[in-house]
Amino acid sequence: MTVSEYLTTLGDNPYFGAGFGLFGLGAGAAILRKGLQASLILFRRHYMITLEVPCRDKSYQWLLHWITVRGARKTQHLSVETTFEQHDTGHIKTKYDFIPSIGTHYFNHKGSWIKVERTREQHTLDLHMGVPWETVTLTSLGKNKGLYFDILEEARQMALTQTEGKTIMYTAMGPDWRPFGHPRKRRPLDSVILDTGISDRILSDVEDFLQAAAWYGDRGIPYRRGYLLHGPPGCGKSSYITALAGELSFGICVLNLSDRGLTDDRLNHLLSVAPQNTIILLEDIDAAFVSREDSAQAKTAYEGLNRVTFSGLLNCLDGVASTEARIVFMTTNYVERLDPALVRPGRVDVKEYIGFCTEPQLKKMFTRFYQTVSPDLPDKFARNVLAQSKNVSAAQIQGYFMRHKADSPNVVAENVKEIWEE
């Protein structure tokens, strides 16, 4: 049998013919599918724009909030973020923020339909924050990248107006600073009553420093200034720094040097990436180190732990090189425990003692609290308190006033012995 005769015989075979037909159909479908995939890719590449925002990015929370407020209001799929705010009075306010849930949402922005996909990787953790890794992807038709700039800018502006007139506190998370808690209402500077002149001295020093960028630049001196507030607890060190930040419209980056996991390298990195217009606050600086002159035994207790070393801190303070003004505030209840190397000029440029209440402070606090009193009542109150010859902190006075806020100022000025009873 010749080859052509063989093929004719095969062609006449009905089973073979059907198989061949099926094969042809399958191949056709596969080609079509590939073609469709390729054209979808081409379409996506040329006629769709996507923006992917990972949860590590600063704009992530702004964007989620913006999407909820502006676009996805009508979506029925929300997730909730609950936050507490505890006030000095102990009152707790709970706030619920709705944000688009994991999944797909659609909304219209300036005539363009945008698909929002919020995805969460259950198996990948953001190592620094310990939360599941999330991303938000926006997809829209067209080629206009400006749309996304527009959205990001609007989201940023919205976040800014929310924090206007408020003080943002930042805390260190891994290598980054993250806003922590709700932005706090600014505390007026004159609500923290310090001994005469202290507040004005610090404020004018900070203001002079902020004006002096060129002076530092010309002399090649690192543009930073260190402040140390020391004195007994409850006298207003932290409150003053918060109020000062509010006055300057600055945020506060709070660092706890005794944190495990805070190494020299991390501290150095954090200081160099602190957000602009913030005060860096190192609280209770004495607790992190024992003076070098103290026992070698205490020093060895720290060895092997993942902590900041004293020389590491000094290096970090000296090395904070930034074109931005860097203001570092440190507080301590025990100034005598600090190593002299830490408090030398260049590291601590301004040192102020924030102590127990003096006569002018007592008078001012009384007047501020009981606003409509005759002028001699504050004098009487101050006289009575000082006659006890006992140290009293502003926090104790505040507590005493709070307990008697409904009582007559006259009684309050008399019964001062109660201050020490709590």
Nearer to ligand ADP, 89 or 94 (CB): 89
Nearer to ligand ADP, 152 or 357 (CB): 357
Considering only residues 335 to 374 of the shown chain, the ones binding ligand ADP according to CB under 6 A are none
Q: How many residues bind ligand ADP (CB under 6 A)?
A: 14
Question: Per rule CB under 6 A, is residue 281 in the interface with ligand ADP?
Answer: no
Part in contact with ligand ADP (CB under 6 A); list of ranges 111-119, 209-217, 235-243, 258-266: 235-243
Q: Which of 71, 234, 312, 378 binds ligand ADP (CB under 6 A)?
A: 234
Part in contact with ligand ADP (CB under 6 A); list of ranges 228-236, 260-268, 272-280, 321-329: 228-236
Distance CA(359)–CA(379), nearest Å, equals 8
Q: Are strands 169-173 and 103-109 parallel, antiparallel or unpaired?
A: unpaired
Nearer to ligand ADP, 164 or 421 (CB): 421
Q: Which of 140, 167, 199, 239 binds ligand ADP (CB under 6 A)?
A: 239
Q: Which of 236, 246, 251, 378 binds ligand ADP (CB under 6 A)?
A: 236
Considering only residues 175 to 204 of the shown chain, the ones binding ligand ADP according to CB under 6 A are 192-194
Part in contact with ligand ADP (CB under 6 A); list of ranges 96-104, 132-140, 158-166, 231-239: 231-239
Pattern 381-400, ligand ADP, x by CB under 6 A = -------------xx--x--
Question: Per rule CB under 6 A, is residue 279 in the interface with ligand ADP?
Answer: no
Nearer to ligand ADP, 105 or 363 (CB): 363
Part in contact with ligand ADP (CB under 6 A); list of ranges 18-26, 27-35, 237-245, 321-329: 237-245
Give yes or no for a contact between 202 and 244, defined as CB atoms under 8 angstroms apart: yes
Nearer to ligand ADP, 44 or 87 (CB): 87
Q: Which of 88, 218, 336, 422 binds ligand ADP (CB under 6 A)?
A: 88
Q: Are strands 278-282 and 326-332 parallel, antiparallel or unpaired?
A: parallel
Taking the complex as a whole, how short is the minimal distance between the CB of residue 188 and ligand ADP, in angstroms?
11
Considering only residues 5 to 24 of the shown chain, the ones binding ligand ADP according to CB under 6 A are none
Query: Under the rule (CB under 6 A), what is the footprint of ligand ADP?
Result: 88, 192-194, 233-239, 394-395, 398
